[in-house]
Structure 1
Amino acid sequence: MTEATTARTGPACSAEEQAQSDARLGRTYRPGREPSQPLPGAEPHPGFGYRREEHGNMLIERDVAIPTRRGTVYADVFRPRNATQVPVIVGYAPFGKHPHLDIETLWAGSGIPFETLSDFVPWEQFDPVPWTEWGYAIAIVDGVGNWYSEGDATYFTPEEAWAGHDIVEWLAQCDWSTGKVGWGGVSYFAMTAWSVAATKPPHLAAILPWDAASDCYREAFLHAGIPSFPFIHGWMQLTGTGQQRVEDMEAGMRDHPTFDEYWQCRVADWQAVDVPTYAVTEFPNNLHLRGTVEAWRGISSPDKFLEIRGDKEWEGFYQPESVQRQKEFFDRYLKDVDNGVSEWPRVRIGVRTREDQWTFRDETDWPLPDVTYETLWLDADAGTLNTQRPEMAAAVSYASTDDSGAATFDIRFDERVEMTGNAKLRLWISTDLSNDADLFVGVEKLDQHGKRVPFTFSQMYDDGPMGFGWLRASHRALDEERSTPERPWHSHARRDWLVHGKPVPVDIEIWPNSVLFEPGESLRVIVKGTPVQRYSGRFEIVFAPLHNSGNHTIHTGGEFDSHLYLPVIKR
């Protein structure tokens, strides 16, 4: 591979600047796990050092050294063996570019069509075999400070984004490259697309973020202020391999419980993203859904497409029809193929009915331009949702630490109703044994006989709620400039503690959804102090520690305007 050189723009990200940022932001580090020590159940590292392999018409260059302002990072580059001018698609993440996880066992139940994948596909990335056959190079990069890449590992930071900028520019100038570079993949591979694109690398031509949370405080580490320490502890095991230091995100969660600069710097300037973008997520996804939609709404790209599906995260990415659309997108913007992609509908959503049953529908924008909103008032006495506000005040309590404790509110529809968009649940709550409350909200569908209808949920499950939301009550303060009636935006800038027995209003964001109700079916809102449903396995987002004790009481009617603000499509 011929050496490429680039002239750099932007901050130097020197060791001195890094130390200053660490001190200012209060970053904490832990020693990285040695790359020679694999995770339990993982394959050992295949060995470090540049080498070339040929597999049919595919050339693989292992551990290609790419210089960045953060130090040298290492990539495995897959490209057509005899091609001299090919575009490049970059995947960048801390998990390890070498396939070392038994994805068929670990991700059993995910819906991934394993029989369609080659032995070369890394977790959450494009399969190099078909993509090199289609005339692309795939560069899978170990993140700064991870595995054998140099530097200290930080996550979702500006310094990481500028290293990505350098990676794009270096690959664009390789002698076999056309100079057009794309960026994409799933989860971390996708999340970095927002921040790298915001640095405006001259040769970045398109991004394909598939499930790309864009605000890691609100969507991953502290859902609406509620920490998920067990989940992040497991995530740190996957991301913490390196020869130097790795950022300790668990310590960061403890040291920075509010949305201060430590977290603010990890949210990209969405408006600065102006390259063609094909963003994909799923309504069941309780990790990436919100952030993918919000970033897509915020970017300034003239050619931007949003797809919100009804299936599981990895299932959709590897489906043959999805891979075909990925190819069509990159063909258009990395190869200049006039294939009609620029005329794609701006938005495509999966309208759901039950379980894994959903149908794509083309739309012009998100939120849908013809969405209207209906207010459904909670009645604690009857356990119902009503079109009329109850005149009399009422209250219902549940044990906040008991999985069986909950308050439920139902409405039965007499006509066909489509719920598509963002929703808000306003509650007046009080507590008796704690000055805070962690609130978990599920939105469920009941059939004509009152039986619960399960839906695909999260990344692995088939029996979850159709909608969800969370809030730590002490984080209830709103950012008034960013909030809308249907989408509360919590500032998370301070903590307002509860006073014993005193009701306060809280607005809970219900993440985007699209569900069709037939006449006779019902919508149920569930409010709990524990997760709406428990699961087992490594992919459950476990929230802990919680700020609950004693009872939560929900107040409705009279002076208490507790209600569900529901998005409705009438066509």
Structure 2
Amino acid sequence: MARMGQGFCPAFNQRVYEAAPGIICEQDVAVKMRDGVTIYTDIFRPKNATEKIPVIVSWSWFGKRPGEGMSEWQIMGVPPQTVSNLAKFESPDPMYWCYNGYAVANVDVRGAGHSEGDVHMFTHQDSEDGYDFIEWIAQQVWCNGKVGMAGNSGVAMHQWRIAAYQPPHLACIAPWEATTDLYRESIFEGGVPALSFNEFIAAQVTGMGGVDDQVAMARKYPLMNGYWEDKIPDFSKVRLPIYATAGFSHFHLRGSVQAFRKAKSRKKWIRMHRDFEWPDSYNPDNLEDLKRFYDRYLKDIHNGWELTPKVRIDVMDAYDCDYQVQRKENEFPLERTEYKRYYLDAGKMTMQDAPVEVKSSVSYDGNTEEVVFDMEFTEDTELTGYMYLHLFVEADGHDDMDMFFNIQKADKDGNWIPWTTLGEPHPGAWGKCRVSHRELDPELSTKFQPVMAHRRELKLSKGEIVPIDVEIVPSSRIWHKGEKLRIQIAGRYIREGWFEPLAWDTDNHGKHIIHTGGEYESFIQVPVIPPKFRSGDYVYR
């Protein structure tokens, strides 16, 4: 366990007080876990409630009173005073939910703040504690016995794991943006280690004990094993109502969609969007939407929620312009998807829809250069779902390669057309691959999503050319006639001006070589979505 220290931990102060007009707070309430460890929670609820009410739980190791002593919350992309100082980071705001007839419980999990023990990062211990807390709070005299969970990012990640333990009084969850396979989506995305960023995240936790040192464990266990598998929820046991979201612009994307697809609940909904997670979470329209979900499953109000489309998708276009907003769909990936392959030609740095006959190759410096392959669309084309790359690659001067991929749009003259989030250009739908991790897991892989096993390293020998299959995170975007599909390939992460300290610990030396044509059929498979209706020149998507 590693020591903690950079987060915020307010003074221990057990009391009951009026936190805002009409809202009372029971502060630093002690709750005992099954093994005798005591954790602490702040419970906000309407002061003059005449009926028993449901409770929404925020469960994470971020401190439960981060706004204490601040004049206002500062949340990127959210105007000042939008979120009250009573809210926990990335969590439901009591000054919205209490005024709508809900209690909110902000929990310092085991090891966080003044809670006893050590912080367990997304492990079975954390899930058991979540189970115990939910069953405890459901029995409180003011509670109607129905408990929900809410929050985005780290607060969302816990929800899937706790729901898999099936606490009897957990009635529904709303995990908005959640990494759900820490190894594949965060610590070793594509096999490329991202240890410095995860050290930054762990440093935000403050408590009296230690914290599960995932970075030290990554150095000790760089391949998939029981430690990492323990952090993956058992989605087959997640059977309660779910309202999830997935943002196309953030690193929680893959996990959010995987969880939605794999959860066994028959009552599950997802909203897929371009925006960053924080402004999306506190958008008033989205709050009202979430309230309808909670009203249905925590208050048993028959408000027609079941008529909400199972899948809603923002089809992105350019910059902050979306081609379609919250388009209604029944499933994801879409049943009407037509998968097509475009074959790379290194001789021309283009792609085409038929295999390339002539062999050629292109190389770039693994640390400083990049290459792009472009293909012009001759008609409006929507790509929604999963893409993947099948490439033949070679390392010149080393026994491994770390490769970074972005799927982009360019105009007819080759100028990049990004989409934006928080006003900044986004690099595009992405994928990564450490070539020594190229072996796939046959049980997890599908015809549209290759999934690496990460069970062993397969180093390259001099002159060896190997095939790799690289999954690209799901996305939804329109390319207009004359615009170009672009694949950007480099040995590093390419992005400027972004506020999060994203970084990967690459191991590149010498040149990366991509082979195409002839026996080296390198291609990208894309999910083409045909229009729902077409009549002459009229197209409805």
Q: Same fold (TM over 0.5)?
A: yes
Partner residue of 2:89 out of 123, 130, 135? 123
Specify whether residues 76 and 508 from structure 1 end up closer, same or farther in structure 2 by C-alpha distance, changes over 3 A only: same
Specify whether residues 252 and 534 from structure 1 end up closer, same or farther in structure 2 by C-alpha distance, changes over 3 A only: farther
Specify whether residues 63 and 368 from structure 1 end up closer, same or farther in structure 2 by C-alpha distance, changes over 3 A only: same
Partner residue of 1:444 out of 408, 421, 446? 408
Asked if structure 2 preserves the Cα contact closer than 8 Å seen for 1:113 and 1:318, the reply is no
Specify whether residues 59 and 105 from structure 1 end up closer, same or farther in structure 2 by C-alpha distance, changes over 3 A only: closer
Deviations, residues 126-155 of structure 1 (Å, cap 9, x unaligned): 110110011100001011111111112110
Query: What is the distance in 2 between the residues matched to 1:463 and 1:534?
Result: 9
Does 1:418 find its partner at 2:382? Answer: yes
**Shift in Å, 1:485:** 2.3
Does 1:63 find its partner at 2:28? Answer: yes
- Partner of 1:308: helix, strand, or coil? strand
Does 1:434 find its partner at 2:398? Answer: yes
Specify whether residues 281 and 536 from structure 1 end up closer, same or farther in structure 2 by C-alpha distance, changes over 3 A only: closer
Partner residue, 1:26 = none
Partner residue, 2:503 = 542
Asked if structure 2 preserves the Cα contact closer than 8 Å seen for 1:355 and 1:454, the reply is yes
Query: What is the distance in 2 between the residues matched to 1:106 and 1:60?
Result: 22
Unaligned residue ranges in structure 2 (runs of 5+): 532-541
Percent identity over the alignment? 38
Partner residue of 2:343 out of 355, 377, 380? 377
Partner residue, 1:469 = 431
Partner residue of 1:498 out of 446, 460, 463? 460
Deviations, residues 156-210 of structure 1 (Å, cap 9, x unaligned): 0011001000010000000000000001201111111111011110000000000
Partner residue, 1:20 = none
Query: What is the distance in 2 between the residues matched to 1:461 and 1:124?
Result: 20
Asked if structure 1 preserves the Cα contact closer than 8 Å seen for 2:73 and 2:84, the reply is no
Does 1:299 find its partner at 2:263? Answer: yes
Asked if structure 1 preserves the Cα contact closer than 8 Å seen for 2:73 and 2:83, the reply is no
Partner residue, 2:231 = 266
Asked if structure 2 preserves the Cα contact closer than 8 Å seen for 1:441 and 1:532, the reply is no
Deviates more, 1:222-231 or 1:363-372: 222-231
Provide TM-score, normalisation by structure 2: 0.94
Query: What is the distance in 1 between the residues matched to 2:305 and 2:447?
Result: 34
**Shift in Å, 1:103:** 11
Asked if structure 2 preserves the Cα contact closer than 8 Å seen for 1:45 and 1:100, the reply is no
Partner residue, 1:515 = 477
Query: What is the distance in 2 between the residues matched to 1:380 and 1:439?
Result: 17
Partner residue, 1:85 = 52
**Shift in Å, 1:461:** 6.0
Partner residue of 2:450 out of 463, 477, 488? 488
Specify whether residues 103 and 326 from structure 1 end up closer, same or farther in structure 2 by C-alpha distance, changes over 3 A only: farther
- Partner of 1:291: helix, strand, or coil? helix
- Partner of 2:348: helix, strand, or coil? coil
**Shift in Å, 1:536:** 4.9
Partner residue of 1:283 out of 235, 248, 268? 248
Unaligned residue ranges in structure 1 (runs of 5+): 1-28, 34-38
**Shift in Å, 1:283:** 1.1
- 1:257 maps to amino acid: P
Query: What is the distance in 1 between the residues matched to 2:11 and 2:407?
Result: 49
Pairing 1:313-352 to 2, within 5 Å after superposition: 313-352=277-316
Deviations, residues 204-223 of structure 1 (Å, cap 9, x unaligned): 00000000111011111111
Query: What is the distance in 1 between the residues matched to 2:493 and 2:12?
Result: 43
Pairing 1:107-256 to 2, within 5 Å after superposition: 107=75, 110-239=76-205, 241-256=206-221
Deviations, residues 456-475 of structure 1 (Å, cap 9, x unaligned): 35xx5621222111111111
Query: What is the distance in 2 between the residues matched to 1:227 and 1:106?
Result: 30
- 1:278 maps to amino acid: Y
Query: What is the distance in 1 between the residues matched to 2:386 and 2:458?
Result: 25
Deviates more, 1:66-75 or 1:423-432: 66-75
Query: What is the distance in 2 between the residues matched to 1:293 and 1:469?
Result: 15
Deviations, residues 497-527 of structure 1 (Å, cap 9, x unaligned): 1112211001111100100011111110011
Query: What is the distance in 2 between the residues matched to 1:269 and 1:312?
Result: 27
**Shift in Å, 1:425:** 0.7
Provide TM-score, normalisation by structure 1: 0.90
Query: What is the distance in 1 between the residues matched to 2:497 and 2:463?
Result: 33
Deviations, residues 32-68 of structure 1 (Å, cap 9, x unaligned): 33xxxxx3xx7x6431031111021100111111111
Asked if structure 2 preserves the Cα contact closer than 8 Å seen for 1:312 and 1:456, the reply is no
Query: What is the distance in 1 between the residues matched to 2:273 and 2:501?
Result: 20
**Shift in Å, 1:542:** 0.8
Query: What is the distance in 2 between the residues matched to 1:111 and 1:247?
Result: 31
Asked if structure 2 preserves the Cα contact closer than 8 Å seen for 1:103 and 1:123, the reply is no
